[in-house]
Amino acid sequence: MFNQNLDSKPQTSLPKQAQQTLRLSVLATAIASVTSMSAIAASDTQTSEVETLVVKGSLIGHSELEDVKEYPGARNILTQDQIKKTSALSIDSALQSVPGIKVQDETGTGVLPNISVRGLKASRSGHAQFLMDGVPLTLAPYGHTGQSIFPATMATLDRIDIVRGGAAVQYGPNNVGGVINLVTKPIPHQWQTEISNRLTVFEDGNTPLNDVYLRTGGWLNDTLALQVEGNFLTGDSFRDHSDTDVTNFQAKLQWLLSDTQELQAFVQRYDADTQMPGALAPADYDDDRTQSKRPYDEYQGESTRWSLKYLHDLAIADGAEFEILTFGHNSDRFFQWGYNNTGDWADPSRPSTHIRTSPRQFEVYGIEPKLAVYVAGPSVTQNWIFGARYVNEEIDYKTTTAPVTGGAVTIDRDWHSDTDAYAGYISNEIGLFNDRLKVTPGIRYETVKMAFDDFGKDTSKDNKVTEWLPGLTLAYNLTDQWVAYTNAQKSLRVPQISDVRTDGEKSSELAWNYELGARYTQDSTSFNVALYRIDFKDKLEWNPTTQVTENIGKTLHQGIELSARHVPESLPALSLGGGYTYLDATLEEGENEGNQLAHTSKHQLNWDATYTFSKLEATLSGYYFSDAYSDDANTVEEDSIGKAGKIPAYMVWNLNIGSDLYKDESSKLRMNLGVNNLFDEDYYFRGIDTSPTGRYPASGRSYVLDLNYQF
C-alpha cells in the first residue's frame, strides 16, 4: 500500500475487529511472493481461504526486503538500521553504498543531492525517477525532472528502495536510471512516540549540524489511524558560508472504510534555506579547502505536497483490487549566485561583479487509477495490471541579473510552460510451472503536450511527444534459493523546459535498458550479480559556454554489478557485506566519440562489517570510486581555475558503534556514535550546477552522536 502503514502480521494488542479488517486489507493488496503469503496464512488458520489470494498491484510491491527475493532485476533496499550502521550523514550519502550509484556532495548536508545511476548525469539527480511512498517526488515529473527541491529528510524514512531495472512500464517517465522509492515510517499499530536528536560535528567546521526528529501516531480506534512528524535540521557543514535551516512536517491518515475499502491521505510542508559555499580554484583549495569564495551563493525552497489514495477490493476473477491515486504539490525554489561578467563567468578565483537569481514556481496535479486482476488457472496464473495517469504541470521559470554594487535588475528569462501528460500501461505477470517461471510482458504509452511561452520575447512554442514503451521481464526459480532474471525495457525523458525554448519541437531522450542476472537468497547468505547495458540516444546536455542545450547523440553505459552479504555459521555475531561495480560509459558519436563520459568512475567498491558483542554493535564500512574526467574531451591536466582535469580517486571509511541503552516491551532508548571519513580523506568533485568551475570539496572527518527514544 501507498504509505506502507500495515505490517503483514497485526499486533495482538490491536482490537480483534481491527485485526480482521487489517488482514483483509493487507491480503487484498499483497505483492509479496507466494512464500511470504504462506507465512501470513500460518499466523491465522481462520483466514486461510482468503490468504490464497495473491493480487499484485505494483511491479515493485511494498518496497519490502521480501520483494527483492524474486524481483526480475537489479535492486537493493536500504533499511533504517543499515543506514544508521554505516553512519550516513544524509540520504545521498547513504546511497553511496549501493552498486552503480555515485554522488556529488554539493552542500555537505544532503539538502541538494546530485545522484548519478550507472553513469547518467548527476546534476540535480535528473536522470532517475524519485518517488516517496510510490508518489512522484520530482518538481515536475515531465518538464523539469531535476531535484532542485528535495523534500525528503533521512529521519522520516523507514527504508530506501533502489530499483535499477524492470520497472519502467508502470513507473514512467524518466526511469532510464531506474526508480528510487523513499518509504516513510509507517503508522504503528499501538500508539507510539519517537524523539531523536542527531548531532554532527565537523572536525573543520563551525556550528554543529543538529537534526531533531519528533513523531507520534497510532490507531485511534479499530478503523482510523493517524501520525504526525516534524524534522528540524539546523547548523553548518564543514565549510564557511554553509548555514542551513530545514523544516519538514508530515502527516498521514489511514481510514478503513469497510472490510473492502480503505482511504490513505498524506500532507507535507517542507522548507529549506541554505548558504552554498561553492567551488574553489586549485590554489585556494590547497590553501584552505573549508573556505568559501562565493559569498552571494544561496538557496531557498518550499513545497506543500499532498496525496490521497482510495483502495477497493473487488469480487471479480480470483481476486482484484482497484485503486485511484491523486497527488499534487505547490513549490517555489530560489537560487542566487555570483558571477564575473568578463572571462569565465564561474571563475572562483575572481570576485563576482554581478548577482544572478533563478526563482521558479511549480504547480503539479496528477490522478492515476489502476486495476489489478489475478486469475488462477490449472497450469497458468496471471496477474494483470491496467493503469492510466494524467499529470498537469505549470512552471514559471525566471532568471534575473543585477550588479553587486547595486543598480537596475535585468530580467534575462521569463518563461512559462504548461504541460498535459497522458499515460496508459498494461502488464501481465504470467506464472508457469507452479510459478517457478514468471514472464511479464508490458507496454506503456506516453503522450505529452507542452506549451512554452517566452514572455520576454513575446514568443510561443508547442512541443508534443508520443512514445510506445515496451518492456519484458523474466524470472526463473532455479531452486528455492536461486533466481535467474533478465529484462529489457524502453525508457524516455521528455524535453525539459530549457530544451523546448531553443527550437520548439524537440524529440525525447530515449534509451533501451537491458539486464541479465542471478540472485541467491538464504538465511545467512545473499548474493546478486547483474550485467547491464543502456543504449542511450539523443542525449541532451547543457553547454555552459553556449548557454544552449545540445544533442550529444548516442551514449553507451554497460558493466557489471556484484553485491553479497554473509553471516558465518561459526561466528553469527559477525555480518559481512560488500559490492563491486564496473562501469564503462562512453560517447558513441561526435568529436569525442569513444571517450569516457564526464564524472563517471569505472570502478566502485563498497563494504561493511558488523560485529555484535555484549550490548554493543560495531560497524566498519566504506566505499571507493576510481578517478574520473570532468569533461567529455577527457582532459587530463588541471588548469589554473579547475575548470578541467582529472578528478582523483577516493576512498572513505566510516565507523559506527550502536547500543540499546534501555529496552522493554513498549520503549527503547538507543545510542549511535559514528565517525565519518575516519581517515580524513581529502577529495573533491567538479562541475556542480551554479558553481561549475573549480574543485568542490567533499566533507572531511566528522563525528556523530545519535540518540533515539521510542515509547
Query: Which tens digit of pLDDT belongs to each residue from 453-503?
Result: 999 888 888 889 999 999 999 999 999 999 999 999 999 999 888 777 655
Bridge pairing between strands 482-493 and 509-521 = antiparallel
The average confidence (pLDDT) of the chain is: 90
Tell me which residue has cell 564561474.
346
pLDDT given for residue 496 in this prediction = 85
- CATH number of the domain that residue 435 is part of: 2.40.170.20
Alpha helices of 654-704 — where are they, by DSSP H?
Answer: none
Q: Is the pLDDT of residue 35 over 50?
A: no
pLDDT given for residue 505 in this prediction = 63
Q: Is the pLDDT of residue 31 over 60?
A: no
How far apart, in Å, are the Cα atoms of 540 and each of 129, 429, 485, 499, 613?
17, 34, 31, 8, 52
Q: Is the pLDDT of residue 533 over 80?
A: yes
Q: Which of 526, 442, 521 is nearest to 478 (CA)?
A: 521
Distance (Å, whole) CA 423 – CA 466: 10
Tell me which residue has cell 538500521.
81
pLDDT category of residue 301 using cuts at 50, 70 and 90: very high
pLDDT given for residue 44 in this prediction = 40
Report whether 650 contacts 686 (CB < 8 A). Answer: no
Q: Which of 594, 486, 586, 604 is nearest to 536 (CA)?
A: 586
Give the burial class of 605: count Cβ atoms within 10 A of its Cβ; 0-12 exposed, 13-18 middle, 19 or more buried. middle
Residues 6+ away with beta carbon under 8 Å from 198: 155, 210, 211, 212, 213, 704, 705, 706, 707
Say if 135 falls within a structural domain: no
Q: Is the pLDDT of residue 5 over 70?
A: no
Distance (Å, whole) CA 500 – CA 669: 53
Check whether the bond before 441 is cis (ω within 30° of 0): no
Identify residue 149 by its one-letter amino acid code: I
Expressed as residue numbers, the domain containing 517 is 179-710
How much is the average pLDDT of 500-515? 79
Which helix or strand (DSSP H or E) is residue 549 part of?
A: strand 548-551
Say if 107 falls within a structural domain: no
pLDDT in tens, 632-668: 999 999 999 999 999 999 999 999 999 999 999 999 9
Domain total of the chain: 1
Say if 582 falls within a structural domain: yes
Report whether 583 contacts 119 (CB < 8 A). Answer: yes
pLDDT in tens, 229-268: 999 999 999 999 999 999 999 999 999 999 999 999 999 9
pLDDT in tens, 565-593: 999 999 999 999 999 999 999 999 988 99
Q: What's the number of CA atoms in the CB half-sphere (13 Å) around residue 77?
A: 19
pLDDT category of residue 17 using cuts at 50, 70 and 90: very low
pLDDT given for residue 597 in this prediction = 95
Say if 297 falls within a structural domain: yes
Distance (Å, whole) CA 644 – CA 595: 15
Angle of CA points 16, 22, 27, to nearest 5° = 130
pLDDT category of residue 42 using cuts at 50, 70 and 90: very low
Say if 692 falls within a structural domain: yes
How much is the average pLDDT of 604-626? 96
pLDDT given for residue 502 in this prediction = 59
Tell me which residue has cell 508530515.
250
pLDDT category of residue 22 using cuts at 50, 70 and 90: very low
Q: Which of 684, 145, 709, 638 is nearest to 395 (CA)?
A: 145
Q: Is the pLDDT of residue 75 over 80?
A: yes
Sign of CA dihedral 7, 12, 13, 17: positive
Say if 101 falls within a structural domain: no
Say if 580 falls within a structural domain: yes
Q: Is the pLDDT of residue 55 over 90?
A: no
How much is the average pLDDT of 517-539? 94
pLDDT given for residue 230 in this prediction = 98
> What would the DSSP string read from start to end of 244-306?
EEEEEEEEEEEEE-SSSEEEEEEEEEEEEEEE----B-HHHHHH-TT--S-TT-EEEEEEEEE
Say if 390 falls within a structural domain: yes
Distance (Å, whole) CA 91 – CA 480: 34
pLDDT given for residue 480 in this prediction = 94
pLDDT category of residue 37 using cuts at 50, 70 and 90: very low
pLDDT given for residue 643 in this prediction = 93
How much is the average pLDDT of 390-412? 95
pLDDT in tens, 167-194: 999 998 999 999 999 999 999 999 999 9
Residues 6+ away with beta carbon under 8 Å from 477: 70, 435, 436, 437, 483
Distance (Å, whole) CA 436 – CA 593: 44
